[in-house]
Amino acid sequence: MGNLMVSVSGIRGIVGESLNPDVIIKYVKAYADYIDGETIVLGRDSRRTGQYILNLVKSILVAKGYDVYDMGIVPTPTVLLNIEILKADGGIIITASHNPIEWNALKLASEKGMFLTSEEGAIFLDSLKNDHSKYVKYDKVGNVIKYKKGIQNHIKRILSLINLERIKKRKFKVVLDCVNGAGGVFTPKLLKEMNCNYTVINEEPNGEFPRNPEPRPENLSKLAEKVKKEKADIGFAHDPDVDRLAVVDEKGEPIGEELTLALAAWKFLMDNPNNKCVCNLSTSMIVEDIASKYDSGVIRTPVGEVNVASRMIEENAIIGGEGNGGVIIPELHYTRDAPAAIAVILDFLAVQNCPVSKIIQELPKYNIIKDKIKFNNKDKRQKYMKKFRKINFEEKPVNIDYQDGIRFEWKKSWIHIRPSGTEPIIRVIGESLDKNWLKNKIEYIKNYE
């Protein structure tokens, strides 16, 4: 079905078109049988379509005999953490994350409070061929439990990660942009617990996104203005489901979502040298530069939160994440968590006792370009990916990585070409110290025939 994206990032599409009640029923019935358990945790972001989808999902699960913990509008990491806390058999988060308002999605989690792995996802998708029309009898239907402790559980865990008294003493002045998403019900409460003097814009969780929901520098002009006007120490921006974080420095300059993981990794590796960090193939080299300061290594995985998290477990890594502003802190839970990243970054600033702009002056000034090639269907996209395997560069790469699409690597430069799991596009992301070199390479790729 056109524009229905099925991947480790969930089942997402345009509501009323590729994502309609028939599709939702099909996948939720199959998921209920795949999990084969008794309890499931549900939550959603603030999109207006989320309520009807949530009601539909609840009804299917109850008819399948599940007890459902309904958390309402909460961050995605809050749902995933509470799957673990409640010892539930799985969870579904209704969110299309950074996609535009007309999109929504079902993000499917296992009993580990993590999204389905590629292997688990393959088994689940294969099960769609089976008959899932069996429901329980009237005396076996499940219950819906309105669960109100999820946010409290999450905040308590975050506060245990940091030196709370050190942060409280600093009385940081913070501006927060919640993009009218799920962050409005969570992050102001966390900032209050940390004794921050905070101002919130776009706080109401009504799903009417006042900007492009992706927290990239070009979308953060209002936050940047507010940081300067309030003379704040720092600004933070969420995406609608609060698993990604962007930072604006005290001068009102967005520092780029790549530096979110870098700052968090800096804090953890500084405190725990000779350790490991895991990130995906599209993440900035800055993480490697920071890791080298503390005799630590960086391991790269295919894009996708569950890919990073699974490798972190294997390697016993102390920190990990993705270059889109996603930070995973194992001590808390194996999921990208924007509020937790806020707490860690504020703790790091309290230790450094200097402004954000001064801290990032110590880092290399890489140029990163994030571009895309749009397609109307997956078949054409697949043909393009095949042709990129034959591409020739005048300057031969020192390495080519095929873990996830194709990543070409040169000394202190790289370009990653991969099909998106969340949009009908091919992403072309690159990084280099030489901006013109990088622009020319990416244009060459986009126009390659």
Between the alpha carbon of residue 64 and those of residues 25, 36, 49, 236, 436, the distances in Å are 12, 10, 23, 41, 57
Nearest to 2 by CA among 372, 373, 378, 374: 378
Read off the tokens for 7.
Answer: 């991947």
Answer for the pair 344, 352: CB distance below 8 angstroms, yes or no.
no
In the DSSP assignment, the letter for residue 217 is G
Question: Which of 9, 46, 97, 282 is an active site residue?
Answer: 97
Whole-number Å distance between alpha carbons of 244 and 130: 36
Residue 107 near residue 76 (C-beta atoms within 8 A): yes
Whether 97 is a known active-site residue: answer yes
> Do 370 and 442 contact (CB within 8 A), yes or no?
no
With 0-12 / 13-18 / 19 or more C-beta atoms within 10 angstroms meaning exposed / middle / buried, residue 101 is middle
Q: Compute the C-alpha angle 371/278/284, nearest 5°.
A: 30
Tell me the two tokens of residue 271. 């405190």
Active site residues: 97
